């Protein structure tokens, strides 16, 4: 950090500085980071959250032992990479001495919105020295910041569609549930602005327009707008594509319905294999770990390139392996190193909506978890091929 940054940090709270006495103030820390990342004023500069000081800038001394400082730093890092805050803003954690005590300074870079950064589905902004829930006008101001053609595909408007193309009954049910749980009903948004805040829609010239993400997750018939947004599963009798097809099934509709149907179908396809007998006991284990297949199926809908092609995601089930193929190569930082080593989001709004509905458990650990499951069950390592599409091969145990 620059010397002038330190001067501002220790001068007091302001539009770019917030103080917290403890890392245990999880909600307030995430809301402040979210507000700094959204950078409502468009300053383009970093902001700072100081942890370990009181309202007057005095160090609390809570992190003077090596263990307490290490535990707090790990907790802060975990908090900032959790799925409570999506998309993940760019942050760095600095450990410094202040008044003879250890403190943490979280530097937050402004996020290139849209998509707007949210905490548990709610956007926050900084106004003066306070962090506030984003109002309808704040959301419009943030949404208009970047030209439509430069926004991630899933946050763009699904032109030609309207609220009647969405499952309005389900959305109103979620709206009333969120409103009843909120502690500040006076500032709670009306229905359509709330949908915009959730990423389900965007403000259009004539009012509310569903976003691509909103249509895919809550649409009554999203394939009418994006014809290839479905999953094709084909089971072959042999080990090649020219083998006889035993079964074929396509999963369409909104993404949650696709996942539910796919997971049930995969569970029916997984058979059990007898293991070498131990005494008089014969043990049977699944041919593939279902949790690993479900995670890979989740990745198909979460990370595919919906903009580039109308080809569906495909799963080819052979006698010796399963091949999952998705339109689009690894996106952003995910293209660096081994697939799954780094996480990035081609579809940040889809990811956020699936997180809220419980279909995405944690961000960034999916493929690492799959690799660990396969290794424990004795399967060969995953095979990955990228050539405009991403193909992942899971082989049976030898």
| Residues 275, 258: Cα–Cα separation, whole Å | 33
Largest CA distance in the chain: 76
pTM over 0.85: no
Asked if the model's pLDDT at residue 84 lies above 90, the reply is no
Higher pLDDT, 337 or 232: 232
pLDDT in tens, 58-76: 999 999 999 999 999 999 9
The 3-class SS string of 267-301 reads HHHCCEEECCCECCECCEEECCCHHHHHHHHHHHH
| Residues 132, 123: Cα–Cα separation, whole Å | 9
Please tell me whether residue 93 adopts helix, strand or coil conformation. strand
| Residues 118, 35: Cα–Cα separation, whole Å | 9
Asked if the model's pLDDT at residue 336 lies above 60, the reply is no
Higher pLDDT, 101 or 365: 101
**What are the residues facing 85 on neighbouring strands?**
119
In angstroms, how far is the first alpha carbon of the chain from the final one? 54
Closest by CA position to 34, among listed 71, 76, 88: 88
pLDDT in tens, 93-106: 999 999 999 999 99
Pairing between β-strand 231-236 and β-strand 313-317 as defined by DSSP bridges:
parallel
Asked if the model's pLDDT at residue 234 lies above 70, the reply is yes
| Residues 161, 219: Cα–Cα separation, whole Å | 10
Q: Assign a CATH topology to domain 231-395.
A: Heat Shock Protein 90 (3.30.565)
Q: Which CATH architecture has domain 3-108?
A: 2-Layer Sandwich (3.30)
Domain boundaries along the sequence of the chain: 3-108, 147-224, 231-395
| Residues 34, 120: Cα–Cα separation, whole Å | 11
Asked if the model's pLDDT at residue 398 lies above 70, the reply is yes
**What are the residues facing 58 on neighbouring strands?**
none
Tokens at residue 241, please?
């594509």
Q: Strands of 85-86's sheet, edge to edge?
A: 85-86, 118-119, 122-127, 130-133
The chain-wide mean pLDDT, for the chain, equals: 89
Q: What percent of the chain has pLDDT over 90?
A: 65
């Amino acid at each position: 950090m620059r010397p002038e940054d330190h001067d501002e940090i220790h001068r007091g709270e302001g539009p770019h500085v917030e103080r917290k006495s403890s890392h245990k103030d999880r909600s307030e820390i995430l809301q402040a980071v979210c507000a700094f990342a959204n950078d409502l004023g468009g300053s383009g500069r970093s902001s700072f959250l100081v942890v370990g000081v009181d309202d007057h800038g005095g160090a609390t001394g809570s992190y003077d032992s090596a263990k307490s400082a290490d535990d707090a730093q790990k907790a802060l890092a975990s908090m900032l990479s959790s799925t409570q805050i999506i998309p993940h803003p760019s942050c760095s954690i600095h450990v410094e001495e202040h008044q003879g005590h250890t403190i943490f300074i979280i530097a937050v870079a402004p996020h290139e919105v849209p998509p707007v950064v949210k905490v548990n589905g709610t956007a926050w902004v900084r106004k003066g020295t306070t962090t506030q829930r984003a109002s309808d006008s704040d959301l419009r101001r943030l949404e208009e910041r970047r030209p439509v053609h430069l926004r991630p595909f899933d946050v763009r408007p699904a032109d030609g569609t309207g609220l009647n193309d969405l499952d309005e009954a389900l959305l109103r049910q979620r709206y009333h549930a969120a409103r009843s749980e909120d502690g500040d009903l006076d500032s709670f948004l009306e229905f359509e602005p709330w949908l915009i805040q959730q990423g389900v829609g965007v403000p259009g010239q004539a009012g509310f327009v569903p976003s691509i993400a909103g249509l895919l997750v809550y649409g009554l018939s999203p394939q009418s707008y994006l014809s290839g947004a479905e999953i094709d599963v084909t089971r072959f009798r042999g080990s090649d594509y020219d083998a006889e097809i035993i079964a074929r099934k396509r999963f369409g509709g909104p993404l949650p319905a696709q996942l539910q149907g796919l997971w049930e179908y995969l569970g029916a396809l997984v058979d059990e294999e007898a293991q070498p007998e131990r005494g008089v006991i014969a043990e049977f284990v699944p041919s593939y770990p279902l949790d690993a297949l479900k995670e890979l199926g989740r990745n198909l809908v979460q990370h595919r390139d919906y903009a580039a092609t109308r080809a569906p995601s495909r799963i080819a089930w052979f006698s010796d392996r399963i091949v999952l193929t998705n339109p689009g190569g690894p996106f952003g930082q995910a293209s660096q190193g081994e697939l799954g080593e780094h996480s990035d989001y081609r579809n940040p709004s889809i990811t956020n909506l699936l997180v809220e509905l419980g279909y995405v458990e944690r961000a960034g650990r999916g493929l690492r978890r799959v690799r660990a499951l396969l290794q424990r069950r004795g399967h060969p390592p995953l095979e990955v091929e990228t050539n405009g599409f991403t193909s992942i091969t899971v082989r049976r145990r030898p």
